[in-house]
């Protein structure tokens, strides 16, 4: 008998309980390797699929979407969908799901952890100690770092992750200033946040933390001009997308002391190349895009992504959708 169940391709292995959500409803194929499928392999696997569950390393471009004639839904493991041609998907009536909310707290934890590490030179001193350089010689002018308690944090992008970052900062009695495309007077009143335009934020903040999506408008939001606006004692934190910072300008800024330091969970490109000059800098803390990598956060993310792809195949509204205008065309 011919199997008429809808087919879903999953580009990585993930939590068994999330896989069960899929296998109960659809025919499921999971990519078995740790390395992602190549563009050619991804194209071959999506061709004939009704749904695909992706992550940020999978490039679902116009060519993939034009080839996948049966595709009804692309479900992303994550909030950002800059690896997906959402405009092309919308044109073709393909729903694009994402997973906002469930990873906000975990990502803010990493963001604040990176801030602390850069401020107090934790990564740098760890490497120094492991290299056998530590001696029991207290010196009042060695390993000086920036004070976090009572400092000013400037948040760019007051979405769910930005708000969680603000909450953590308030626990350290930090002054929190922010810029967001849409001003948030209710949050200002509730949490004592202060709205600044970008230039004033950059010149005022001791720490600048980025929480904006990567779009054509936000690419290199932080470049040479913006880095020169920042205090020479300030630290830049990026847990958004690598492309919102001009990497070459950041290298020069860190090398020449325009700013004191930086802490990145994201790079441009990803993965960062082994010979990237940023990796030679001691005043940079860097992690491999692990913002959402708590066990609970990843489990909830996988479950939501699985429910999204099943809903899209079954003609129901997704719990989180990046192109809800497709609903009207589909009569959902």
Active site amino acids: 241, 270, 289
Measured between alpha carbons, how far is 235 from 80 in angstroms, rounded to an integer?
Answer: 24
Count of CA atoms in the C-beta half-sphere (13 A) of 28: 21
What pairs with residue 284 in β-bridges? 262
Count of CA atoms in the C-beta half-sphere (13 A) of 261: 23
Give CA 208 to chain center in angstroms: 16
Would you state the structure tokens that stand for residue 68, as one six-digit string? 């996948």
Cβ distance 23 to 2 under 8 Å? no
The DSSP 8-state label assigned to residue 171 in this structure reads: T
Cβ distance 240 to 211 under 8 Å? yes
CA nearest neighbour of 64 among 13, 19, 9 = 9
Angle at 251 between CA 262 and CA 276, to 5 degrees: 105
């Amino acid at each position: 008998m011919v199997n008429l169940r809808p087919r879903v391709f999953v580009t990585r292995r993930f939590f068994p309980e999330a896989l069960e959500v899929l296998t109960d409803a659809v025919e499921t194929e999971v990519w078995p390797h740790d390395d992602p499928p190549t563009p050619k392999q991804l194209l071959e696997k999506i061709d004939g699929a009704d749904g695909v569950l992706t992550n940020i390393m999978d490039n679902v471009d116009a060519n993939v979407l034009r080839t996948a004639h049966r595709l009804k839904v692309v479900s992303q493991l994550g909030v950002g969908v800059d690896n997906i041609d959402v405009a092309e998907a919308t044109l073709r009536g393909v729903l694009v799901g994402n997973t906002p909310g469930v990873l906000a707290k975990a990502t803010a934890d990493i963001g604040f952890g990176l801030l602390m590490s850069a401020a107090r030179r934790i990564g740098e001193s760890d490497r120094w100690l492991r290299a056998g350089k530590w001696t029991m010689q207290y010196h009042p002018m060695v390993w000086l770092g920036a004070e976090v308690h009572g400092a000013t944090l400037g948040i760019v992008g007051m979405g769910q992750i930005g708000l969680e970052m603000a909450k953590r900062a308030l626990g350290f009695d930090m002054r929190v200033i922010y810029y967001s495309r849409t001003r948030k007077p209710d949050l200002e009143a509730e949490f004592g946040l202060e709205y600044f335009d970008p230039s004033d934020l950059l010149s005022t903040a001791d720490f600048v933390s980025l929480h904006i999506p990567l779009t054509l408008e936000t690419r290199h939001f932080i470049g040479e001009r913006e880095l020169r606006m920042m205090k020479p004692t300030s630290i830049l934190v990026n847990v958004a997308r690598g492309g919102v910072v001009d990497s070459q300008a950041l290298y020069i800024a860190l090398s020449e002391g325009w700013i004191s330091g930086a802490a990145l969970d994201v790079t441009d490109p990803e993965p960062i190349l082994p010979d990237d000059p940023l990796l030679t800098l001691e005043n940079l803390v860097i992690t491999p895009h692990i913002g959402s990598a708590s066990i609970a956060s990843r489990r909830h993310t996988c479950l939501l992504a699985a429910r999204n792809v099943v809903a899209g195949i079954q003609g129901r509204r997704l719990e989180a959708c990046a192109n809800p205008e497709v609903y009207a065309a589909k009569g959902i």
